[in-house]
Amino acid sequence: MTDVFGAEFLDRLHSTGAVKNPAPFETLRTNGFPNRRVEAWRYTDLAGQLAQTLTPAGLRINQEQSGLFGPNPAVESVEGDALSLLNAAVGGEGFLFEVPEGARLKPVFARFGPMDSNALVNATNRITVGAGAEAVLVERWGQTDESWMNSDTTIDIAEGGHLRRIILVEDGGAGTQTHRTFTTLGENSRYDALVVTLGGALHRIEQHADLTRPGCHAGLSAIVLKRAQEHSDFVTNVRHLAEDTTSDQQVRTVVDDQATAIFQGGIKVAKDSQRIEGDQLSRALMLSDRAQAFTKPELEIFADDVKCSHGATVGDLDEDALFYMRARGVDEAAARALLILAFAREPFEAIELPEAIETMLDSKVQEWPGVSGRFEEMDL
């Protein structure tokens, strides 16, 4: 076969008999996987993942409201990047989540994992929200130790629908997770997503949103917490394809030790898409001289009546704030943890969360600096 990046990985995959759809697999064999010479992948290297010998396995789903979920058949063909082609080639079945027209659902929780060791799990998921319907979906993707979980999720939100989606990506070991979401919004609809990524060797999470009708809104937020040699690549691509649409992106990143985190945020405004508002703010906190944080905003605007903004900061803890807290009797470890927590919590304000869900996420964020449960005891 052609000597492309990932050729040996594809040979091993083919030898397992796991390839169910030859067409996307042949395209992948011809083009290979993206390497760091590809602009969108310049910060993320898949060489370690492609060197693994992995066994294809099915997606494990555990959810509270089983009647709301069903199996989603794998696609036989796909247009997209190499990871979507990989998903289609092995026929990854996923979940189907449907919210009927006008429904108002209680929060729905679903856990995907744990995965078997050295497994390659591919999933094709579909979410539909009917006209005027509202739903809160909490997805926990995790425990992929030494394994690779790869998914594509398609979301369609009809007129006046509203989906609040929380994606908690957590790994205790050297797992890899690569997830892509493609959302299409109807008139006066709303999509609010919060991604929280913890642990893992490599996480690349992509959020693509097409605002196709007037009055719709996409809010894409993320909290990225990485340490050791963990790697995160959070990618957004919001396309304003209709007039009178709005978007907001809020990303907070904390990296320690030798961890690396990247935010690649895109806003595109099509020609004649007037009266557009698009905001993007990325802030990164580096706790170590060897940690790395990269921000790459991309704005493409082809209309006149547009209010789009982007901002990015990279820095360390505020020494003045740290001094103030030490002067109030807070020990240094707790003071640093409090400042980290206050910083990381900021995206919570971008999405209205039920109290129980915010408490659960807050506990995960508190665990990261290692002082969970101590904050309520402090009299500041």
Please report the pLDDT score of residue 336 as a whole number.
86
| pLDDT at residue 66 greater than cutoff 60 | no
Cα separation, 40 vs 34, whole angstroms: 9
Cα separation, 242 vs 29, whole angstroms: 37
Report residue 97 as tokens. Answer: 């989540």
C-alpha pair distances (Å), 21 with each of 4, 25, 92, 128, 254: 20, 7, 10, 25, 40
| pLDDT at residue 259 greater than cutoff 70 | yes
Average pLDDT over residues 313-328: 84
Question: Binning pLDDT at 50, 70 and 90, where does residue 380 land?
Answer: very low
Report residue 238 as tokens. Answer: 């919001």
> Regarding predicted confidence, which is higher, 76 or 197?
197
Please report the pLDDT score of residue 117 as a whole number.
83
Query: Which pLDDT tens digit goes with each residue over 178-221?
Result: 999 999 999 999 999 999 998 888 999 999 999 999 999 999 99
Question: Binning pLDDT at 50, 70 and 90, where does residue 350 land?
Answer: confident
Whole-number percent of the chain with pLDDT over 70: 91
Query: Which pLDDT tens digit goes with each residue over 33-64?
Result: 999 999 999 999 999 999 988 888 887 777 65
| pLDDT at residue 270 greater than cutoff 50 | yes
Interior CA angle at 51 toward 3 and 261, to 5°?
105
